[in-house]
Amino acid sequence: MTDFILVRHGETVWHAENRYAGRTDVPLTGHGREQAATLAAWAATAGLSAVWSSPLSRARLTAAPAAAACGLTPRIDERLYEVDFGQGEGLTRDEMRERFPDRLAAFLADPVDHHLPDGEHPRHAAERAAGALADIAREQPHGRVLVVAHSTLVRVLLCHLLGIPLADYRRVFPRLDNGALTEIRIEHGRTALLSFNAPAPTRAPALR
């Protein structure tokens, strides 16, 4: 049995304009660094056994204070990258509507079979992230692991692990806040959702 706390990185400079940030290495804002500090305060008493992160700096800089707070070295897995948004990368929804309105409409109707042009197929993203968690679970069979990653990646991963149709990820999980905690338990290859999108408290609750 391995418990995972999945966290979206802190706020970035593209959030104010709601730009799609996939593989682009967008820096954290001051507020994003504050969210990382709040996560670290929670992590200090959370009983974590490991901290993993996406390679992108917005995730690494969110994970590093949490790892330091509990005396751990953060580890990186390339499979925790955000989904690649292809031609949508760096654009707002309005800018996409101007450049490829038909493709955007198809994406909004079915974000999997009609993912953004030249972008990564969400099914591939979900499978690579699930593979990363499976490997971590084998390494931490009784662990409590913090994983700092990205909004779309976490939502498609949850659908994949919980048996929810992938095309419904934007409907079932309409938002994932920066720095919020989503906890899952993987036991004998099956996944339970324990909490979703919960604000990080300054101290962790007592372990069950």
Active-site option among 11, 82, 115, 150: 82
Please report the DSSP string for 106-167 in residue order: HHHH-TTTTPSTT---HHHHHHHHHHHHHHHHHH-TT-EEEEEE-HHHHHHHHHHHHT--GG
78 catalytic? Reply is no
Q: What is the pLDDT of residue 205?
A: 52
Q: What sign does the dihedral 198-202-204-206 (CA atoms) show?
A: negative
Q: Is 146 left (phi over 0), alpha (psi -120 to 50) or beta?
A: beta
Show the tokens assigned to 153. 């990646």
What pLDDT shows up at residue 203?
A: 57
> What pLDDT, on a 0 to 100 scale, did the predictor assign at position 82?
97
Residue 208, pLDDT score: 46
Query: Residue type for 133, please?
Result: L
pLDDT at 202: 66
Per DSSP, what are the bridge partners of residue 184? 4, 193
Closest alpha carbon to 58 in 21, 6, 16, 89:
21
pLDDT at residue 204 in the model? 53
Kindly compute the dihedral angle of the four CA atoms of residues 71, 76, 80, 85, in this order, to the nearest 10 degrees.
120
d(CA 186, CA 188): 7
Length of the chain: 208
Find the catalytic residue in 9, 115, 150, 160: 9
Is-catalytic flag, 188?
no
pLDDT along the chain (208 residues), means of 10: 97 89 93 96 96 98 97 97 95 95 95 94 97 96 97 97 95 95 95 95 56
